[in-house]
Structure 1
Amino acid sequence: MSSKQDLPPALHDYIQKSGVALAVSTTEGDAPLTAVNGAFCTLTGYTEDEVTGQNCRFLQGPETTEEERQPLHDFVHGKGGDNGRFPILNYRKDGSKFRNFVFMSRLYDSAGQARLILASQFDMTSAMQRSEITKNDARLSQALTDVEQIGREYGYAMMGSAQLIADSVATLARMSFTDPR
């Protein structure tokens, strides 16, 4: 099983410093988390020690639907493209609900094997206004650019993230006009 010690030091350091809620899981077994950052802990209310080694589904709760769960499950288990975006109802440690918009990308080793999944989370509960979407998109865009550069230095690759960002911006903009929450 991978651990945060197995991450390239520059990638681990970047994740820890990022203001975007980031988590890394291995593609092995049940895709346990190997590293999360402070922004993830702030968003969810859990500490890194509480979540390391667990699959992210611990954030799901009684009102999380199977329709929301299945696409995440499929992605984590290697189905579909190299990038995905998934809206899902999640729960913080204190039991409060939040609309999580999860962006995930597979990270490949130098042999072309998917080894890790990088996931960023955005609380879209109150961020449906256009200005919040623009700020989230700018942070995500910068985070993906930085992670891609660090990954290339260590033999990891993220496939197609530029298109993912473009598609995500369009989706978020559409959501801001159709979902008044």
Structure 2
Amino acid sequence: MVAELPDKLRDYILRSGVALAVSTADGDVPLTLVNQRFCDLTGYAREDVEGHNCRFLQGPATDDASRAALHDFVHDPAQNDGRFIVLNYRKDGLAFHNLVFMTRLRNREGRARFILASQFDMTTAQQRKGLRSNDETLSRDLADLKMMGQQFGLAMEASAASISNSIAMLARLNLDE
């Protein structure tokens, strides 16, 4: 399935300094590509996760409301982007609060082909202080991704700006804490 992503877009995701994962937009939405930052965040190797739905990151204390919000987004093609805080678990069993931004990548006909998700560990105050840097990095990455996506017929339906604005808002809120 990774082959369906344009090479330039796939290479960009793999190089990104933001934890990124791409899944199909159909069926059980299995992961088709994750980058090294995703692997660093979760403790899983690429070959452990590609082909599997991201719910393997959920665990016993992941609340039903978070599960339902993710499920509703994935199964409602009318939603273009979403933001979720979910309790996830690394491969070693350590829990972390994962701030997940998801956006649908659509072809020129408007059909969702992939779901792009970025993740940020929101567990500690120190990491929250890093949101301003994450915001700047993600804003640059999303602008580049949007341009590449459009070149290859994948429209992000203004979700790049929405995600960037959401992160900027969270950065401002958390820097005031």
Structure 2 length normalisation: TM-score?
Answer: 0.92
Q: Give the match for residue 53 of structure 1.
A: 51
Asked if 1:77 corresponds to 2:75, the answer is: yes
Aligned residues: 176
Give the aligned residue type for 1:164. Answer: I
Residues 1-181 of structure 1 aligned to structure 2 (within 5 Å): 3-78=1-76, 81-127=79-125, 131-160=129-158, 161-175=160-174, 177=176
Unaligned runs of 5+ in 2: none
What is the distance in 1 between the residues matched to 2:75 and 2:176?
33
What is the distance in 1 between the residues matched to 2:35 and 2:125?
21
Deviation at 1:80, TM superposition (A): 5.3
Q: Deviations over 1:88-108 (max 9, x none)?
A: 110000000111000111000
- Conserved in 1, the CA contact under 8 Å of 2:20 and 2:37? yes
Identity, % of aligned positions: 51
Q: Deviations over 1:18-71 (max 9, x none)?
A: 111100000111000000011101110111111011110100011100111111
- Conserved in 2, the CA contact under 8 Å of 1:127 and 1:133? no
What is the distance in 1 between the residues matched to 2:175 and 2:77?
29
What is the distance in 2 between the residues matched to 1:14 and 1:39?
13
Give the root-mean-square deviation of aligned CA atoms.
1.7
Give the aligned residue type for 2:146. Answer: E
Structure 1 residues 111 and 127: CA distance shift in structure 2, 3 A: farther
Structure 1 length normalisation: TM-score?
Answer: 0.90
Unaligned runs of 5+ in 1: none
- Conserved in 1, the CA contact under 8 Å of 2:129 and 2:175? no
